[in-house]
């Protein structure tokens, strides 16, 4: 192995335009690396030759590849001499001048000339000279930032309101001009960082930036954009809609059949948004690296969250080469936005300036969604009277959400499945007729086998030999929350002709803690997307949660009807008594409480459900209203307030309030020396 010090001596003659030794007490010589894939001799010197560390390329080029490109063979090195070895002969490629570009000032005077040289193997290089000079010795004492725009002399002939295209390189610039588009460029290419006063002729102009399709080109255009803003120009980016290869530019676009019309339609002046569904927004953001497209779907807005599924793809990316980035995100979460930015930088690089791009896209999406014009002239909405207001009266109203809630083991799931079967058959639920309805059951609790077994037991209890086909469609949610699943469900609902859906249960279906109002808001936003009637099962965990589901007024307010379910059973009994208590009814009066019994025949036999008298079950009766309990206790009897209180357990003041509100409509007051007694009237 050759020692680093020996390499330092032997390889110096083979370095490409080495710089003066620097750093490490003058032990490192920097030069251009000959092993870079594009073979170009421009850019920064990345190859370092050090007395102690040997030879390495900071861009990561392989050591052997560097030596091969230098035409150096290590086997020919003599470890016992201090003389540098001779390089292998390099093949000679004649560089021919193919084009001379004249750089003129705004008055038309030639300031410098740039020659484009090409060889038969496709390599190219550029050389400069001042006017009147033979050969191509360069432009000293001028600097690159002193060179005017290529095409500066043409700007006075272009109307002030006509856009000027800014490309990278003269070939791309000429391609635009040949197509009829005014265009300019700078002479230093993507490596130029200082522009002097060269951009001044563009002051106040509409400038459209057309970067080469590579990282260097995009970075270069971002520098140009910043400098153009300093001269009050109005730079915008071109969003070409064709699939670009790496390094493609304007010349490649037109050579591939691109049209001027498509170019003019592809200019994105600023971030733009469009609403394409009630909960979906598209956004385009112009960047130095091209236009970035965002699709925000399944938007769900609450006070603290702006949940959406975002799809991101870059303009012109080949579909086969690049999959779009898809993620569900809360746009209001700083952590989620930071993680998204890091993902995008890792996938597509930092040249897009993702922080600014995401801020612009997210702000546009939120503004578009919130500012939708949703107001309608109610006089223009057709009136359609729906004679069938309930799928099962008074339990499940048509086209509205109903919540059935209560403690676990109250047979809520069995009753929900029994209602599902009654609707699918057009039969009845505990004697209440059901509309013939195609139903979906969205299950977060069990699997299809458990659901099917229960359904067969319920069918046997109802006297049905089998479950009807194409009337009940089961779907296991697979742990995906309803807000995430809503759009997919809506598609299935339309395809299958579903008219009603049961969701079991809320706690697992909502995307968050069900006791928080934001979770309820997001859940009902998702329910609204389904656009059909629905019944939602809520398993509460606290006995005191008997007024509102999860003890939350939000769940109570957003549902059309809520029913509290309470169960009573005796030990070693196959029958349970269940009370239904209406806690809310938006339209019309609240329904009376009622009871039903559920009898289980073993572990796999029929499940039979029937209506029963709620007042006959003391533990259920005491949860009914004071009015119902007083009415029941006075059936065929005449009692005073004290006697009623002793039998029902109601406070006497509540009983007095019942008779005060009645005002003689339902009860007869019978005066008695020992105090008034009351009896029920015969109601006609």
Question: What are the tens digits of pLDDT across the range 452-483?
Answer: 999 999 999 999 988 989 999 999 999 999 99
The phi and psi torsions of 584 (rounded to 5 degrees) equal -160, 140
The answer to whether the beta carbons of residues 415 and 434 sit under 8 Å apart is: no
The per-residue pLDDT for range 590-601, each reduced to its tens digit, is: 889 999 999 999
Q: Which residue has the higher pLDDT, 552 or 265?
A: 552
Q: How far apart are CA 637 and CA 381, in angstroms?
A: 54
With CA atoms as reference, report the closest residue to 114 among 129, 124, 133: 129
φ/ψ bin of 600: left (φ > 0), alpha (ψ from -120 to 50), beta (otherwise): beta
Which pLDDT belongs to residue 11? 83
Q: Which residue has the higher pLDDT, 368 or 264?
A: 368
> What is each CA distance from 280 to 6, 110, 565, in whole angstroms?
66, 55, 38
Element at 619 (helix H, strand E)? helix 618-621
The answer to whether the beta carbons of residues 474 and 492 sit under 8 Å apart is: no
pLDDT exceeds cutoff 90 at 314: no
pLDDT exceeds cutoff 80 at 38: no
The per-residue pLDDT for range 55-110, each reduced to its tens digit, is: 888 767 778 888 888 877 766 655 444 444 444 444 455 789 999 999 999 999 99
Which pLDDT belongs to residue 13? 80
105-118 average pLDDT score: 95
Confidence grade of residue 242 (pLDDT, cut at 50, 70, 90): low
The answer to whether the beta carbons of residues 88 and 71 sit under 8 Å apart is: yes
Which pLDDT belongs to residue 92? 52
- Three-class SS string for 515-555? CCHHHHHHHHHHHHHHCCEEEEEEEECCCCCCCCHHHCHHH
Which pLDDT belongs to residue 244? 65
The answer to whether the beta carbons of residues 49 and 12 sit under 8 Å apart is: yes
- 3-state secondary structure (DSSP) of residue 8: helix
pLDDT exceeds cutoff 50 at 239: yes
Element at 345 (helix H, strand E)? helix 334-348
Cα-atom radius of gyration of the chain, to the nearest Å? 40
232-244 average pLDDT score: 68
| Residue corresponding to tokens 């730079």 | 235
The per-residue pLDDT for range 152-175, each reduced to its tens digit, is: 999 999 999 899 999 999 999 999
Which pLDDT belongs to residue 387? 52
Which pLDDT belongs to residue 143? 94
DSSP 406: E
End-to-end CA distance of the chain: 114
Pairing of strands 439-443, 500-504: parallel
- 3-state secondary structure (DSSP) of residue 505: coil
Q: Which residue has the higher pLDDT, 668 or 75?
A: 668
DSSP 508: H
Tokens of 551: 């003890």
With CA atoms as reference, report the closest residue to 435 among 406, 408, 399: 399
Query: Which stretches does DSSP call E strand in 26-84?
Result: 28-31, 47-50, 54-57
- 3-state secondary structure (DSSP) of residue 678: strand
Q: How far apart are CA 644 and CA 635, in angstroms?
A: 12
Q: How far apart are CA 588 and CA 340, in angstroms?
A: 49
The set of residues, in sequence order, having a beta carbon less than 8 Å from that of 472 and lying 6+ positions away, is: 420, 421, 424, 439, 440, 441, 455
With CA atoms as reference, report the closest residue to 348 among 373, 328, 371, 323: 323
The set of residues, in sequence order, having a beta carbon less than 8 Å from that of 516 and lying 6+ positions away, is: none
The phi and psi torsions of 466 (rounded to 5 degrees) equal -160, 170
Confidence grade of residue 291 (pLDDT, cut at 50, 70, 90): confident
What are the CB-based long-range contacts (under 8 Å, 24+) for 478-483?
479/444, 479/508, 481/509, 481/510, 481/511, 482/442, 482/509, 482/510, 482/511, 482/523, 482/526, 482/527, 483/298, 483/300, 483/307, 483/510, 483/511, 483/522, 483/523, 483/525, 483/526
pLDDT exceeds cutoff 90 at 442: yes
- Three-class SS string for 446-488? CCHHHHHHHHHHHHHHCCCCCCCCCCEEEEECCCCCHHHHHHH
Q: How big is the chain, counted in residues?
A: 684
Q: How far apart are CA 326 and CA 348, in angstroms?
A: 14
554-575 average pLDDT score: 90
Q: What is the mean pLDDT of the chain?
A: 86
The answer to whether the beta carbons of residues 486 and 529 sit under 8 Å apart is: yes
Least confident range of 55-64, 291-300, 396-405, 410-419: 55-64
204-231 average pLDDT score: 87
pTM: 0.55
Q: How far apart are CA 504 and CA 415, in angstroms?
A: 12
The per-residue pLDDT for range 626-647, each reduced to its tens digit, is: 999 999 999 999 999 999 999 9
Which pLDDT belongs to residue 150? 97
Which pLDDT belongs to residue 271? 87
Tokens of 651: 């406070």
Which pLDDT belongs to residue 438? 96
Confidence grade of residue 24 (pLDDT, cut at 50, 70, 90): very low
Least confident range of 29-33, 160-164, 616-620: 29-33
pLDDT exceeds cutoff 60 at 22: no
Q: How far apart are CA 50 and CA 53, in angstroms?
A: 5
């Amino acid at each position: 192995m050759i020692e680093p010090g020996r390499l330092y001596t032997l390889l110096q003659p083979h370095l490409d335009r080495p710089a003066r030794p620097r750093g490490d007490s003058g032990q490192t010589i920097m030069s251009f690396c000959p092993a870079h894939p594009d073979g170009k001799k421009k850019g920064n010197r990345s190859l370092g030759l050090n007395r102690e560390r040997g030879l390495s390329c900071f861009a990561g080029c392989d050591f052997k590849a560097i030596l091969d490109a230098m035409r150096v063979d290590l086997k020919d090195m003599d470890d016992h001499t201090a003389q540098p070895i001779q390089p292998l002969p390099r093949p000679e490629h004649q560089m021919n001048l193919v084009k001379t570009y004249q750089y003129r000032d705004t008055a038309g005077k030639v300031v410098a000339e740039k020659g484009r040289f090409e060889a038969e193997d496709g390599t190219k290089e550029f050389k400069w000279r001042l006017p009147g000079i033979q050969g191509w010795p360069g432009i000293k004492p001028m600097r690159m930032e002193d060179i005017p725009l290529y095409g500066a002399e043409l700007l006075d002939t272009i109307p002030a309101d006509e856009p000027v295209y800014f490309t990278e390189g003269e070939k791309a610039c000429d391609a635009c001009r040949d197509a009829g588009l005014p265009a300019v460029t700078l002479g230093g290419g993507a490596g130029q960082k200082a522009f002097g006063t060269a951009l001044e002729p563009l002051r106040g102009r509409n400038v459209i930036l057309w970067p080469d399709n590579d990282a260097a080109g995009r970075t270069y255009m971002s520098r140009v954009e910043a400098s153009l803003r300093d001269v009050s120009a109005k730079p915008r980016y071109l969003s070409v809609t064709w699939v670009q290869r790496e390094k493609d530019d304007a010349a490649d676009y037109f050579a591939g059949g691109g049209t001027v019309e498509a170019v003019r339609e592809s200019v994105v002046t600023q971030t733009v948004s469009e609403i394409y569904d009630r909960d979906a927004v598209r956004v385009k953001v112009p960047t130095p690296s091209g236009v970035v497209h965002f699709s925000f779907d399944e938007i769900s807005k609450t006070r603290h969250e702006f949940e959406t599924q975002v799809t991101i793809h870059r303009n012109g990316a080949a579909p086969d080469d690049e999959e779009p980035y898809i993620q569900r995100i809360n746009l209001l979460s700083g952590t989620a936005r930071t993680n998204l930015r890091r993902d995008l930088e890792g996938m597509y690089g930092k040249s897009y300036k993702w922080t600014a791009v995401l801020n612009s896209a997210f702000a546009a999406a939120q503004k578009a969604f919130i500012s939708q014009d949703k107001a309608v002239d109610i006089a223009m909405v057709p009136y359609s009277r729906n004679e069938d207001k309930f799928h099962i009266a008074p339990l499940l109203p048509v086209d509205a959400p109903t919540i059935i809630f209560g403690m676990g083991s109250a047979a809520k799931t069995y009753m929900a499945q029994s209602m599902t079967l009654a609707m699918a058959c057009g039969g009845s639920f505990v004697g209440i007729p059901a509309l013939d309805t195609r139903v979906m059951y969205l299950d977060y609790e069990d699997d299809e086998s458990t659901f099917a077994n229960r359904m067969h037991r319920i069918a046997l209890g109802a006297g049905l030999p089998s479950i009807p086909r194409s009337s009940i469609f089961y779907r296991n949610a697979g742990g995906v929350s309803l807000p995430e699943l809503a759009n997919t469900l809506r598609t299935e609902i339309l395809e299958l002709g579903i008219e009603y859906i049961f969701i079991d249960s809320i706690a697992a279906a909502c995307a968050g803690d069900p006791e928080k109002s934001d979770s309820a808001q997001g859940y009902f936003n998702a329910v609204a997307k389904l656009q059909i009637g629905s019944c939602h099962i809520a398993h509460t965990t606290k006995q005191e949660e008997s007024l509102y589901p999860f003890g939350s007024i939000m769940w109570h307010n957003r549902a059309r009807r809520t029913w509290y379910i309470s169960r009573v059973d005796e030990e070693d009994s196959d029958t349970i008594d269940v009370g239904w208590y209406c806690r809310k009814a938006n339209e019309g009066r609240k329904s009376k409480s009622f009871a039903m019994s559920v009898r289980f025949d073993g572990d796999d036999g029929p499940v039979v459900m029937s209506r029963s008298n709620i007042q006959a079950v003391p533990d259920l009766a005491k949860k009914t209203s004071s009015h119902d309990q007083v009415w029941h206790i006075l059936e065929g009897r005449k009692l005073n307030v004290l006697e009623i209180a002793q039998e029902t357990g109601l406070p006497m003041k509540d009983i007095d309030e019942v008779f005060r509100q009645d005002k003689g409509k339902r009860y007869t007051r019978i005066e008695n020396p020992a105090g008034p007694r009351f009896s029920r009237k015969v109601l006609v």
